[in-house]
Amino acid sequence: MTETGDFIRRDRGRHPPAFTPGYKTSVLRSPKCALVSLEQGPGEKAGPVFPRSMLAPLDNDLIRNFGTGGEAIGERIVVHGRVLDECGRPVRNTLIEVWQANAGGRYRHKNDGYLAPLDPNFGGSGRCMTDDEGRYFFRTIRPGPYPWRNNGSDWRPAHIHFSLFGEAFVQRLISQFYFEGDPLIAKCPIVNTIPDPAAREALIARLDLAQQMPFDALAYRFDIVLRGRRQTFFENL
Amino acid sequence: MPVEYLKETPSQTGGPYVHIGTMPAVAGLPVRSQETLSVLAGATTPGERIRIEGVVWDGSGHPVKDALVELWQADSTGSHHAEGFSGFGRAAADFATGEWSFETVKPGSLPWRDGRPQAPHVSILIFARGINIHLHTRMYFADESAANAEDPVLRSIEQVGRRATLVAERTRKNGVPTYRFDIRLQGDAETVFFDM
């Protein structure tokens, strides 16, 4: 039977609030009014469906999916994990999009003017879909940290941006994950927009030596949790 | 002890280079340039072809030029997942002006939880640098004023005067019915954002 229940309410205390002055850009881009809380309608409990056929063979291989046939320079890594909902159910066939800077912290984006050079064989854009058990993986190079204009020159820890849809519009999520042991994580005003230390920890990918590709690539494990769906005990009309 | 569930992965801002992963052609990458995500409808899509356009404005009245706007809507009959119409779109603000737009069809009415009709609307998410967790809003159509007056979601907004921030005026642009939807993140006439 298809579940039609509502999605569990988003715990806004686990997410960063909109207004976080330590991250300066949020000051003018955060609503002053409270969000209006509403029940979910049928439109919010549905969401876009992407066909697996949209994926090209190298979409999840950022070492090889850009450039002239050569490989990207940097620390070769595999990132893998599972996407589960809050009830522990695998989120199947959902699109994961990732984007990142190259090994030197430079983005291949027309607006990035950082002096670190571009890598002719690195684009920094990838995507994959979860399998029937919610598993995903992609291969890339570990991104470098980079400076940004916040408090003078702040430095972002190495991070990879990621985006998920789940099966409903209310599960939509964009975030960033970081790498175990990076001393810049604790200093980052964007990481620290999240008030709860345990929630910040949930964004750190763990070194996974067992899943390394020997003499080729290190591995990191990063699991993702989307909002869960309630069971429908009674129709609440 | 209350029952423990897994906890949702916390949100972080999409950052200034969100296009690399979501609309690489906009970032200047020559990959997936065939994907025109801001065009939902073609010549054969049933329904009235419309254009939706706007700017996301910050609290100082300046355009947010690095915004990513996502749209989710029913088809012209009020159904999701209709054959040949994904209902999903993505548009990037213009790096110079902040203008974004979609080409789509006007959605039909979708029922609310209790079976009451909702007024035709599109759901909109906003991602950008400085936005820690995406903002969720809805755009309604000014030429549906009777339906809007009965819409259960609009009526849930306590401050009656704020409801108008979700209603887009209809104009014509190059012969195409066009709805202008300016989103104000903060300050006077701040757009209503939802937690659903």
Q: Once rounded to an integer, what is the mean pLDDT over residues A53-78?
A: 95
- Which value does ipTM take for this structure? 0.97
Residues of A in contact with B192 (CB under 8 A): 33, 36
Contact (CB<8Å) B10/A14: yes
- Region of A152 please: left (phi>0), alpha (psi -120 to 50) or beta: left
Whole-prediction pTM value? 0.97
Which distant-in-sequence residues (6+ apart) come within 8 Å of A164 by Cβ? A83, A91, A94, A95, A96, A97, A171, A172, A173, A174, A224, A226
* Confidence band, pLDDT 50/70/90 cuts, at residue B161: very high
β-bridge partners, B169: B180
* Confidence band, pLDDT 50/70/90 cuts, at residue B60: very high
Question: With 70 as the cut, is the pLDDT of residue B27 above it?
Answer: yes
Q: Once rounded to an integer, what is the mean pLDDT over residues A41-63?
A: 95
The per-residue pLDDT for range B91-116, each reduced to its tens digit, is: 999 999 999 999 999 999 999 999 99
Question: Has A107 been annotated as catalytic?
Answer: yes
Q: Once rounded to an integer, what is the mean pLDDT over residues B58-79?
A: 97
Q: Quick one: pLDDT at residue B180?
A: 98
Residues 74-93 on A with a CB inside 8 Å of B are 84-88
Question: With 90 as the cut, is the pLDDT of residue B32 above it?
Answer: no
The per-residue pLDDT for range A109-148, each reduced to its tens digit, is: 999 999 999 999 999 999 999 999 999 999 999 999 999 9
Q: Once rounded to an integer, what is the mean pLDDT over residues A188-206?
A: 98
Helix, strand, coil percent content, chain A, rounded in steps of 5: 10, 30, 60
Q: Which of B183, B163, B90, B187 is nearest to A33 (CA)?
A: B187
CB-CB contact of A162 with A96 (8 Å): yes
Measured between CB atoms, which of A47, A126, A170 is closest to B196? A170
Question: With 50 as the cut, is the pLDDT of residue A177 above it?
Answer: yes
The per-residue pLDDT for range B118-128, each reduced to its tens digit, is: 999 999 999 99
Measured between CB atoms, which of B17, B132, B187 is closest to A16? B132
Lookup: tokens for B41: 């409808």
Q: Quick one: pLDDT at residue B111?
A: 95
Question: With 90 as the cut, is the pLDDT of residue B15 above it?
Answer: yes
* Confidence band, pLDDT 50/70/90 cuts, at residue A1: very low
Q: Which residue has the higher pLDDT, B16 or B83?
A: B16
Residue type at position B82: A
Q: Once rounded to an integer, what is the mean pLDDT over residues B118-141?
A: 98
Cα radius of gyration (chain B): 17
Residues of A in contact with B196 (CB under 8 A): 37-40, 44, 170
CB-CB contact of B134 with B127 (8 Å): yes
For tokens 């190495």, the residue is A158
Mutating which of B133, B160, B184, B192 best tests the A interface, going by the most A Cβ atoms within 10 A?
Answer: B133
**Maximum Cα–Cα distance across chain B:** 62
